């Protein structure tokens, strides 16, 4: 029988972060080559910030045993969650239009993914010795 371990959860973190990087990079490419795709945040398309957040979280997860890795992870995942909360609420209020995939606003997906990163990391740290 398979057992959940800290190492497996680390793989989940890197996997979710990597998927976030890929999807955010797709949005950035759409923004650059097709036209406005993402709502602005501080005058910059939000997908750039989300891409940076996922990249920091993924790199931080790889180096989770180092203090700089922990700082990178929480900075990146925290940014993804905060941006997700902000744009999800704007989407619900009708004050911003998030890019969609199959009619699902990506800000909702990003909020869920960022929260998942944080939750999985909490469980991983509780399972890991040290």
Average pLDDT, the chain: 93
Q: What is the pLDDT of residue 7?
A: 87
Calculate the alpha carbon distances from 68 to 59, 62, 71, 88, 128 in Å: 10, 11, 5, 30, 18
The mean pLDDT of 13-40, rounded to a whole number, is 95
Give 88's contacts (C-beta < 8 A, 6+ positions apart).
Answer: 98, 105, 107, 108, 111
Look at residue 1 and tell me whether its pLDDT is greater than 50: no
Calculate the alpha carbon distances from 116 to 17, 22, 42, 79, 81 in Å: 10, 17, 26, 13, 9
Per-residue b or e along 42-74, where b marks 16 or more CB atoms closer than 10 Å to that residue's CB: eeebbbbbbbbbbbbbbbbbeebeeeeebebbb
The mean pLDDT of 65-82, rounded to a whole number, is 96
Phi-psi region of 129 (alpha: psi -120 to 50; beta: other; left: phi over 0): beta
Look at residue 75 and tell me whether its pLDDT is greater than 90: yes
How many CB atoms are located within 10 Å of the residue 102 CB?
A: 4
Instruction: Report the candidate in 73, 49, 51, 47 with the shortest Cα–Cα distance to residue 60.
Output: 73
pLDDT tens string 31-68:
999 999 999 999 999 999 999 999 999 999 999 889 99
Q: What is the pLDDT of residue 4?
A: 83
The mean pLDDT of 95-118, rounded to a whole number, is 94
Q: What is the pLDDT of residue 18?
A: 96
């Amino acid at each position: 029988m398979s057992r959940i371990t800290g190492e497996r959860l680390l793989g989940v973190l890197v996997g979710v972060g990597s998927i976030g990087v890929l999807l955010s990079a797709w949005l950035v490419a759409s923004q650059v080559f097709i036209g406005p795709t993402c709502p602005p945040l501080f005058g910059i398309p939000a997908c750039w910030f989300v891409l940076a957040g996922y990249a920091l979280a993924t790199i931080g997860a790889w180096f989770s045993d180092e203090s700089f890795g922990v700082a990178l992870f929480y900075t990146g995942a925290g940014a993804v969650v905060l941006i997700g909360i902000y744009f999800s609420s704007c989407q619900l209020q009708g004050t911003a239009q998030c890019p969609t995939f199959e009619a699902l606003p990506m800000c909702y997906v990003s909020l869920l993914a960022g929260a998942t990163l944080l939750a999985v990391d909490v469980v991983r740290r509780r399972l890991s010795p040290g």
